Amino acid sequence: MRISTRQRQARLGSRHRLSARAATPEEAAASVVALHGTDPATVFLSAGARLTTPGPGPVERALYADRTLVRMTGMRRTVFVVPAGLVPVVHHSSMPAIARKERASVLKVFGPEGWDEARLKDLEAAVLTALAEAGEATTAELGALEPRLREQVRVAVGKPYEALVSIGSRLLGLMAMDGLLVRCGRPSGTWTNGQHRWGLAPDMAELAVHEAQAELAGRWLAAFGPGTEADLKWWTGWTLSEVRRALAAVGAVAVELDEGAGYVLPDDLEEVTEPEPWAALLPALDPTPMGWQARDWYLPQAHRAELFDRSGNVGPTVWWDGRVVGGWAQRADDGEIVWRPLSDVGADAKAAIEAEVAGLASWLDGVKVTPRFRTPLERTLSSGLPMTPCG
C-alpha cells in the first residue's frame, strides 16, 4: 500500500490539531505526544497554535495548578511537557539509559575534586530531604539550603568555551533523569522565563523498558504516522534494534512512501478526509516540524538552511495546508509580528496567514518572545533588515 504526500499532509493537519483546534492544553499536547519544552516559550506558543482559545492562562493552570501537564527530561535528553498520564511511559522508555550515561559523565568531571558514587548519593539524599521540607525551590535556593551543590569545577580548560560548572547544575538534572525530581513550580517573572522550581517527583508506575517503548512508539505512530524507522529512531534517540522491536510490538504495518518504507498502526490504513485549507504560525522547536528526520514532504530542502540553526533546531515556521511556506518573527524594536513567504503562496494563503498573525498578536498582548536558538531567517526578520526577494 502506498500513502501519498498529500495524505501525509492531511493527517498532519487534523491529527496535530492545526486544521481543527483543541479545547484544552492537555489535548493539544497529546495530539503531538508531547510539547517541546527546552525553550519555555515554545510550550505556550505551540499550545496556542492548537487551541480554540489560546493564551498563557490555560497552559499555566495545567502546568502549575492542576499539574495535568508535566515538564520532564525525555527522549534524546530533551525537555518536554508531557500529559501526566504519559510520564511513566516517557521515563521508562528512554531515561534509565540516559541517566546512566549522565551519572558516569558527572563522576568523570567531578571525580578529580573528590566526588565518588557514595558522596554523590549522600548529596542526592540531602537534596531530597531539603525539598521534602521546602516543598519547592529554585536551583539557587537549593544551593543555599545545601551548600555542597555550589561546589564548582573548571571544565574545558584552555578552550574557547572554558567555564566553571557547579555540581548542582549537573546533579539536579541527573536526579530529574532518574525520576526523583520534577520541574514543577511557576517560574520567576513571565511565562517566557526558564527559571523553574524543583520539587519531589510523584510516585511513578513501573514499566519494563520494552513495554514503555512499545507504548511510546504506538503514540508516535498515531500522531506522526506514517513514518520511517529512521524518523522514529531520530525522534526517540533509541537504537535501531529498539525501534524495530517497538514497531513489531505494536504490529506496525509497512507502507510505501516517497522516502521508501514507512510504518503505520494496523488500524490506520484507510485514507483520511482532507481538511479545509489551514494556516498556522508554529514557534521555534515546535513538535510538528521536529517530528520527522526526513522532511522533504512538508519542507523543501532549498529552504532548510534559512529555517534551521546549525544544530538542527527549527525556528518559527509559517504553514499553509500541510507545508512549511515561510518563517516569522517578532521585531526586536516593537514586537510586531512579521513573516516572509519562501515561495509564492497565493492570495487565499496570505489572507489566512495574516489572520493567524493578528490572532497571535492579540493573545501575546505585547509580550516579546526571542527563541532560545536563533535561525537565519528569524534573525533577519527580527532585525528589520531588508530581505532578498523570495523565489
What secondary structure does DSSP assign to 119-163, as a single string? HHHHHHHHHHHHHHHHSEE-HHHHHHHSGGGG-EEEESTTSTT-E
pTM (predicted TM-score) = 0.93
Q: How confident is the model at residue 188 (pLDDT cuts 50, 70, 90)?
A: confident
Average pLDDT over residues 129-152: 94
Q: What is the C-alpha to C-alpha distance for residues 7 and 87, in angstroms, rounded to an integer?
A: 31
The residue with greater pLDDT, 160 or 24, is 24
pLDDT at 170 over 50: yes
The model's pLDDT over 75-99, given as tens digits with 9 standing for 90+, comes to 999 999 999 999 999 999 999 999 9
pLDDT value of position 224: 98
- For residue 282, give the nearest of 378, 158, 195 by alpha carbon: 378
SS3 content of the chain, % helix, strand, coil (to 5): 45, 15, 35
Q: Average the pLDDT over 18-28 and give the result.
A: 98
Q: Is pLDDT above 50 for 157?
A: yes
| Confidence at residue 87, expressed as pLDDT on a 0 to 100 scale | 96
pLDDT band at 385 (very low <50, low <70, confident <90, very high): low
CB neighbour class for 333 (10 Å; exposed up to 12, middle 13-18, buried from 19): exposed
- β-bridge pairing 181-185 and 197-200: antiparallel
pLDDT band with cut points at 50, 70 and 90 for residue 186: confident
Whether residue 374 is predicted with pLDDT greater than 60 in this model: the reply is yes
- Cβ-contact 304, 295 below 8 angstroms: yes
pLDDT of residue 389: 42
Of 9-23, 157-171, 298-312, the poorest mean pLDDT is in 157-171
- Is the per-residue pLDDT at 238 higher than 90? yes
For residue 226, whether the previous peptide bond is cis, meaning omega lies within 30 degrees of 0, is: yes
320-323 CB contacts, 8 Å cutoff, 24+ apart:
320/277, 320/278, 320/279, 320/345, 320/349, 320/352, 320/353, 321/9, 321/13, 321/277, 321/278, 321/279, 321/349, 322/6, 322/8, 322/9, 322/10, 322/12, 322/13, 322/298, 323/9, 323/298, 323/299
Residue 254 clears pLDDT 90, i.e. is over it: yes
> How far, in Å, CA of 272 to CA of 32, rounded?
18
Q: How far apart are CA 193 and CA 154, in angstroms?
A: 27
pLDDT at 386: 56
Q: What is the pLDDT of residue 155?
A: 84
Look at phi and psi of residue 384 and say left if phi exceeds 0, alpha if psi is from -120 to 50, else beta: left
Q: Give the list of residues 6+ apart from residue 312 with CB closer than 8 angstroms, or none.
A: none
Residue 162's alpha-carbon distances to 44, 150, 166, 227, in angstroms, are: 33, 18, 13, 40
User: What single string gives the DSSP state of each residue in 283-309?
Assistant: PTT-TTTTS-S--TTTS-GGGHHHHB-
Write the pLDDT tens digit of every residue in 348-367.
999 999 999 999 999 999 99
What average pLDDT score do residues 319-346 get?
96
Q: Is the pLDDT of residue 239 over 60?
A: yes
Q: Is the pLDDT of residue 52 over 50?
A: yes
CA distance linking residue 52 with residue 120, whole number of Å? 47
Name the band, by pLDDT with cuts 50, 70 and 90, for residue 196: confident
**What's the rounded mean pLDDT across residues 39-60?**
96
Q: Which three cell numbers stand for residue 252?
A: 506496525
Residue 341 clears pLDDT 90, i.e. is over it: yes
Residue of 172, 221, 174, 251 lying closest to 3 (CA atoms): 221
Is the confidence at residue 372, as pLDDT, over 50? yes
Q: Are 262 and 299 in contact (CB under 8 A)?
A: no
Residue 126 amino acid letter: A
Residue 73's identity, in one-letter code, is: T
Average pLDDT over residues 12-21: 97
Min mean pLDDT across 5-19, 69-83, 156-170, 335-349 is at: 156-170
pLDDT for residue 390 is more than 50: no
Residue 49 has pLDDT above 50, yes or no: yes
pLDDT for the residue 77:
92
What are the residue ranges spanned by the domains of the chain? 5-84+206-264, 102-184+191-200, 279-383
Query: 140-150, pLDDT tens digit by residue?
Result: 999 999 999 99
Residue 197: exposure state from Cβ atoms within 10 A (0-12, 13-18, ≥19): buried
| Mean residue pLDDT across the chain | 94
**pLDDT (tens digit, 9 = 90+) per residue, 271-328?**
999 999 999 999 999 999 999 999 999 999 999 999 999 999 999 999 999 999 999 9
